[in-house]
């Protein structure tokens, strides 16, 4: 029952937010998101005390085909739900510094998106998972299209349309895979899928279909070309939702629906999957170096980071999987922080062109400090959250193949190069005309940063709870994968 409340509360909140009108909607949404965060913490607490009653719910839904409304939260799900409920209020708060046109629609779409995301992370029936997966696409499409920053409306709609169609096609492959699975097992519940007796050929076909669906969303090289434009054109609130939470859907999908369901197929493709992921790390990092736009640079950086997460997952080692979970949480926090820094620069100067910026540190020391901490977290400096993740991920990849881990490890060099270059060219040096009147952080902006920074250090210094919570779920997944 508890999990059901956690799932449906945002939907209710979306309706209430829409009804509350443009003036109040932001505050209502923030309050609702905060309540939702508390609810998810209660769920986490239940999980930690092995109190499973509230965390599993199954109810018959469609009789023919046999689809049940079943949701459950194990350690993996509960962590991603908490990530979502933690980030959504932060994202809502971060949008307050700017006047939002038609706020009630925007904020209710954000909450609707949260509902879908949580659904994705807790669904244990294939079709239910698919429905939430597709549902999540709708609000973000409208957020990107209608509230986008791009001045060129034509380009904006092309970019969002490409994103929409690309991921939709990816999902269709997943739908086909689910239909096929249903024809073989007569049920799409996780348990029956684990028990499905599939031959090698079927598994290979299914693995390819699932992989394509997830790879577009994550994205994994070479399915990433929708990303930079969409991140650039979407409003920052949308970019944060996309990069902070939505791409974790794809990574989560790998862990929950690909690895344990078609292990033979995964093993067959694994050299290809992990190589593509590692190519993405280096490719994204190198392309990030010369980017001229902060949001595009962060998009390529994010692409590189998630490549490492995917590589860790495909290493099929417990260290790689643990690293993936830790890094999913870390990446969510850090990327939201980084895009928020970009947003602040955009609000003050009206541009994200790195060459027009510079010297902001002279006039906005608080912002400079917050930004450098976020930068350091994204280059995985020890004591920040990303270090734990990268250490485990690279070690996981090392367990798979030494050379691949060295190539993947280039991210720590290249990451430092492009992030510090970007920081230097926007923040350091002498002030320029555009930046001379740069106001330092407002109270609400500072709050956003402080919350994120606390998360960065807490997870970096004491990651044990995260690892312990994820451990049983990952062990279970690995057991099915290596069966």
Partner 1 sequence: MLYTYLLILLPLLGFLINGLLGKKLSKTLSGIIGSGVILGSFIISCIFFFALVGGQASIEAKIFDWISVGSFHIEFGVLIDQLSAIWLMVVTGIGFLIHVYSIGYMHDDEGFQRFFSYLNLFIFFMLLLVLGSNFVVMFIGWEGVGLCSYLLIGFWYKNQDYNDAAKKAFVMNRIGDLGFLIGMFILLYNYHTLSFTGLQAAVAGGADHSVMFWATLFLFIGACGKSAQIPLYTWLPDAMAGPTPVSALIHAATMVTAGIFMICRANFLFTLAPDTLYIIAIVGVVTALFAATIGVMQNDIKKVLAYSTVSQLGLMFVALGFGAYSTGAFHVVTHAFFKACLFLGSGSVIHAMGGEQDIRRMGGLKKWMPVTFATFLVATIAISGIPPFAGFFSKDEILAKAYEHNKVIWGIASFASMLTAFYMFRLVFLTFFTSFRGTHEQEHHLHESPATITFPLIVLAILSVVGGLIGLPPVISANHWLQNFLSPVFAASQGHAAEASELSHGTEWMLIGIATAAAVISIAWAYTRFIIKKTLPAEEGKLTGFASLVYHKYYVDEAYNVIVVKPLLAVSEWGYEVLDKIVVDGVVVWSGKLSLMTGKQLRQLQSGNIGFYLLMMVLGIIGIFIYVLTYLQ
The one segment of 128-136, 304-312, 403-411, 441-449 that binds partner 1 by CB under 8 A: 403-411
Locate all alpha helices (DSSP H) within 401-442, ordered by sequence.
402-427
Give 218's DSSP letter: T
Name every residue whose Cβ is closer than 8 Å to that of residue 464 and which is 6 or more positions away in sequence. Answer: none
Of 244 and 337, the one with the shorter C-beta distance to partner 1 is: 337
Of 86 and 300, the one with the shorter C-beta distance to partner 1 is: 300
The one segment of 144-152, 235-243, 423-431, 433-441 that binds partner 1 by CB under 8 A: 423-431
Of 33 and 414, the one with the shorter C-beta distance to partner 1 is: 414
**393 neighbors 334 (Cβ within 8 angstroms):** no
For residue 222, state whether it binds partner 1 (rule: CB under 8 A).
Answer: yes
Of 210 and 387, the one with the shorter C-beta distance to partner 1 is: 387
For residue 436, state whether it binds partner 1 (rule: CB under 8 A).
Answer: no
Per CB under 8 A, the list member of 428, 432, 446, 447 interacting with partner 1 is 428
**144 neighbors 235 (Cβ within 8 angstroms):** yes
CA-based nearest residue to 113, from 224, 248, 207, 2: 248
Phi-psi region of 383 (alpha: psi -120 to 50; beta: other; left: phi over 0): left
**211 neighbors 275 (Cβ within 8 angstroms):** no
What's the CA gap between 171 and 133, in Å, rounded?
8
For residue 429, state whether it binds partner 1 (rule: CB under 8 A).
Answer: yes
The one segment of 5-13, 40-48, 160-168, 255-263 that binds partner 1 by CB under 8 A: 160-168
Number of chain residues interacting with partner 1 (CB under 8 A): 52
**429 neighbors 363 (Cβ within 8 angstroms):** no
CA diameter of the chain: 69
Of 239 and 317, the one with the shorter C-beta distance to partner 1 is: 317
Of 191 and 225, the one with the shorter C-beta distance to partner 1 is: 225
Of 38 and 413, the one with the shorter C-beta distance to partner 1 is: 413
Of 60 and 382, the one with the shorter C-beta distance to partner 1 is: 382
Locate all alpha helices (DSSP H) within 70-102, ordered by sequence.
75-94
What's the CA gap between 339 and 234, in Å, rounded?
11
- The contact pattern for partner 1, residues 262-301, with x = CB under 8 A and - = no contact, is ---------------------x--xxxxxx----------
What's the CA gap between 381 and 388, in Å, rounded?
9
Of 59 and 464, the one with the shorter C-beta distance to partner 1 is: 464
What's the CA gap between 426 and 387, in Å, rounded?
25
Q: Tally the residues of the chain.
A: 483
For residue 409, state whether it binds partner 1 (rule: CB under 8 A).
Answer: yes
Per CB under 8 A, the list member of 173, 178, 371, 398 interacting with partner 1 is 398
Q: Beta-carbon neighbour count of residue 379 at 10 Å?
A: 23
Name every residue whose Cβ is closer than 8 Å to that of residue 418 and which is 6 or more positions away in sequence. Answer: 285, 288, 289, 291, 297, 301
420 DSSP β-pair partners: none
For residue 410, state whether it binds partner 1 (rule: CB under 8 A).
Answer: yes
For residue 483, state whether it binds partner 1 (rule: CB under 8 A).
Answer: no
For partner 1, the binding residues in 349-388 under the rule CB under 8 A are 359, 361-362, 365, 376, 381-383, 388
Per CB under 8 A, the list member of 9, 121, 226, 257 interacting with partner 1 is 226
For residue 462, state whether it binds partner 1 (rule: CB under 8 A).
Answer: yes
The one segment of 90-98, 138-146, 222-230, 259-267 that binds partner 1 by CB under 8 A: 222-230
Of 229 and 264, the one with the shorter C-beta distance to partner 1 is: 229
By DSSP bridging, strand 56-62 and strand 67-72 are antiparallel
Please identify which residue in the block is written with the tokens 């991603």. Answer: 80
The residues that touch partner 1, with contacts defined as CB under 8 A, are 162, 165-166, 222, 224-226, 283, 286-291, 317-319, 322, 359, 361-362, 365, 376, 381-383, 388, 391-392, 394-395, 398-399, 402, 405-406, 409-410, 412-413, 416-417, 420-421, 424, 428-430, 462-464, 467
């Amino acid at each position: 029952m508890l999990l059901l409340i956690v799932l449906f509360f945002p939907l209710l909140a979306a309706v209430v937010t829409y009804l509350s009108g443009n003036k109040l909607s932001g505050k209502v949404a923030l309050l609702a998101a905060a309540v939702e965060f508390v609810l998810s913490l209660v769920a986490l607490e239940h999980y930690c005390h092995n109190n499973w009653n509230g965390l599993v719910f199954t109810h018959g839904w469609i009789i023919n085909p046999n689809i049940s409304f079943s949701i459950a939260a194990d350690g993996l799900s509960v962590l991603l739900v908490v990530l979502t409920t933690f980030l959504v209020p932060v994202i809502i708060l971060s949008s307050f510094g700017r006047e939002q046109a038609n706020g009630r629609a925007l904020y209710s779409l954000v909450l609707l998106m949260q509902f879908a995301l949580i659904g994705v992370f807790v669904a244990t029936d294939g079709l239910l998972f698919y429905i939430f997966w597709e549902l999540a696409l709708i609000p973000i499409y409208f957020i990107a299209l209608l509230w986008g920053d791009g001045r060129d409306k034509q380009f904006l709609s092309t970019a969002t349309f490409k994103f929409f169609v690309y991921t939709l096609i990816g999902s269709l492959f997943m739908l086909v895979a689910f239909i096929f699975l249903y024809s073989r097992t007569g049920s799409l519940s996780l348990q029956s899928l684990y028990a499905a007796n599939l031959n090698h050929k079927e598994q290979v076909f299914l693995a390819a279909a699932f992989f394509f669906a997830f790879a577009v969303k994550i994205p994994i090289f070479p399915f990433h070309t929708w990303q930079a434009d969409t991140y650039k054109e979407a409003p920052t609130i949308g970019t944060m939702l996309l990069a902070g939470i939505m791409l974790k859907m794809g990574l989560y999908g790998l862990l929950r629906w690909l690895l344990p369901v078609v292990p033979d197929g995964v093993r067959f493709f694994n050299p290809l999957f992990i190589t593509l992921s590692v190519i993405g790390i280096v490719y994204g990092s190198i392309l990030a170096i010369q980017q001229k736009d902060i949001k595009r640079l962060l998009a390529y950086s994010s692409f590189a980071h998630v490549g490492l997460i995917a590589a860790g997952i495909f290493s099929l080692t417990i260290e790689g999987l643990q690293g993936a979970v830790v890094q999913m949480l870390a990446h969510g926090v850090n990327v939201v922080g980084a895009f928020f820094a970009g947003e602040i620069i955009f609000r003050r100067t009206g541009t994200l062109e790195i060459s027009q910026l510079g010297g902001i540190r002279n006039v906005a020391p608080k912002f400079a400090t917050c930004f450098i901490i976020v930068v350091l977290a994204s280059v995985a400096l020890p004591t920040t959250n990303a270090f734990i993740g990268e250490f485990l991920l690279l070690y996981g990849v090392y367990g798979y193949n030494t050379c691949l881990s060295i190539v993947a490890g280039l991210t720590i060099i290249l990451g430092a190069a492009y992030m510090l270059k970007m920081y230097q060219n926007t923040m350091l040096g002498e002030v320029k005309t555009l930046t001379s009147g740069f106001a330092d952080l407002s109270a609400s902006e500072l709050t956003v940063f402080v919350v994120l920074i606390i998360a960065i250090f807490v997870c970096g210094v004491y990651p044990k709870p995260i690892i312990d919570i994820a451990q049983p779920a990952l062990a279970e997944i690995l057991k099915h994968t290596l069966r």
